[in-house]
Amino acid sequence: CQTPCSNAVWPSWPVIERILPKIDPATQKVTDASVLPRCPNCGEDVIMNVRGGYWFIEDPYREQAERLDQWLDSNRERDLLILEIGAGFNTPSVIRWPMERIVHAHPRAHLIRVNLQYPQVPREIAGRSVSLQGHAMGAVTAIWKEMGLEKSGALT
């Protein structure tokens, strides 16, 4: 809900499936406003629940974040590799900064960061990081090739 009037969220895919057939290919505009979603509680317009402002509802993600924290704690003595591809500064608090914090806090963690514009890593974790400037697809293709998976057809 754009207001938001509650902490309720719902799956977006059914909404997208309802809207797609009503998009004019030439103008990219919705031709039937009745397919646009409204909040079931207050009738207000709805927006995607993405981080970017006061409207973001964190509740649906708390349990998953707690499970990740528990997993990281229980694996502190094991090697950990974080492969981060394409995380820039649009919303760095979602991927980029949390991954840096994990590497900083986890004694056996390493980071491989692939980013066309911002591959840099903080000085504090540079010794356990690899910074690659390049396209995401190029990095993924190189990894698959190194693993001998390029013939599987998965990247085509």
Work out the burial of residue 21: count CB atoms within 10 Å of its CB; fewer than 13 is exposed, 13-18 middle, 19 or more buried.
Answer: exposed
Cα(12)–Cα(111) distance, rounded to whole angstroms?
Answer: 32
- Tokens 């911002």, residue? 118
Read off the pLDDT of residues 76-132 as tens digits, 9 standing for 90 and up: 999 999 999 999 898 898 899 999 999 999 999 999 999 999 999 999 999 999 999
Read off the pLDDT of residues 8-25 as tens digits, 9 standing for 90 and up: 898 999 999 999 999 999
Strand 80-85 relative to strand 129-132, pairing:
unpaired
Share of the chain above pLDDT 90, in %: 65
Report if pTM > 0.85.
no
